[in-house]
């Protein structure tokens, strides 16, 4: 129980305690400010080259990171996500940067695990305003990732950077990674670990995704764009559902830079996210 006391022997006044608590909340909220417009954000993710390899996701156009940087700028994205090697060579400072500090390839079989490949210090030197880290909740290796993210989150906050958790339930114990219950668990795990924002998959309906947003309890929730959708309308309806549910925005990759007209898709997304127009 807090009994108070300070160096002069007096007790802390209640309004002092309240001020300190409020200050901490403001600090955490402000770490994501660079990635938000009116409380919402649209992030362009381009970490798939390490995760999937060039043959699965890239063509002659989008294999070039310069093209992605151009889309991020002209598409008016609030942030771009790169692994450190791409950031070192292609980041131009025109859009706020998130450096992904862990990763894996698609080659190993078995339970997923993604370990740290970039320090927070290096991410900061590249111009990052946030670091991103994937946690495969439910993997037999989740304890390693939880502990590693805990250290990274503390380091990031000490340096004034936001810590964003990609929380993807995956492994033998996960039967349905987009069920309302499991996605809400992912969102809550991000909050409990101190993430400023969580990137989670859409559940398929606004009501159950709304429970995930509530479970995040103030940590910003970004819907994961996922693989290229069958139709534009199907994808836009998912985004609209997430926004109606209270999501802070979208972290999208393939559904933009695999699109025949990425800037047109970006414009459609902006109307839903920022202008609150229906899909």
Pairing assessment for the beta strands 41-45 and 162-167 based on DSSP bridges: unpaired
Report the distance separating Cα 201 and Cα 250, nearest Å.
Answer: 10
- Catalytic site residue 76? no
Tokens 């995760």, located at residue = 51
Contact 181, 152 (CB under 8 A): no
The neighbouring-strand residues paired with 82 are 99
- State how far Cα 275 lies from the chain centre: 21
The pair of three-digit structure tokens given for residue 204, joined into one six-digit string: 């398929």
User: Of 71, 42, 77, 51, which is closest to residue 251 (Cα–Cα)?
Assistant: 42
- Catalytic site residue 199? yes
Annotated active-site residue in 100, 199, 201, 220:
199
Annotated active-site residue in 133, 136, 168, 185:
168
So which residues are the catalytic ones?
168, 199
């Amino acid at each position: 129980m807090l009994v108070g006391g300070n160096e002069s022997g007096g007790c802390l006044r209640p309004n002092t305690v309240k001020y300190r608590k409020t200050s901490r909340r403001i600090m955490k909220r402000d770490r994501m400010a660079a990635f938000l417009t009116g409380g919402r954000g649209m992030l362009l993710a381009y970490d798939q080259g390490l995760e999937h390899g060039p043959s699965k996701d890239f063509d002659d156009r989008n294999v070039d990171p310069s093209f992605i940087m151009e889309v991020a700028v002209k598409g008016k994205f609030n942030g771009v996500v790169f692994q450190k090697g791409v950031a070192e060579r292609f980041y131009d400072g025109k859009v706020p940067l998130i450096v992904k500090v862990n990763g894996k390839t698609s080659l190993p079989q078995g339970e997923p695990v993604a370990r740290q490949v970039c320090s927070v210090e290096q991410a900061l030197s590249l111009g990052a305003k946030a670091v991103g880290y994937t946690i495969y909740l439910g993997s037999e290796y989740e304890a390693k990732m939880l502990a590693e993210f805990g250290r990274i989150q503390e380091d990031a906050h000490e340096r004034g950077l936001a810590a964003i958790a990609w929380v993807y339930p995956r492994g033998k114990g996960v039967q349905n990674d987009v069920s309302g219950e499991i996605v809400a668990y992912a969102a809550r795990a991000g909050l409990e670990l101190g993430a400023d924002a969580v990137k989670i998959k859409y559940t398929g309906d606004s009501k159950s995704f709304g429970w995930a947003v509530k479970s995040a309890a103030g940590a910003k929730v970004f819907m994961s764009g996922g693989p290229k959708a069958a139709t534009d309308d199907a994808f836009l309806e998912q985004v609209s559902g997430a926004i109606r549910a209270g999501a802070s925005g979208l972290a999208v990759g393939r559904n933009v830079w695999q699109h025949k007209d990425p800037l047109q898709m970006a414009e459609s997304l902006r109307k839903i996210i920022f202008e609150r127009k229906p899909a």
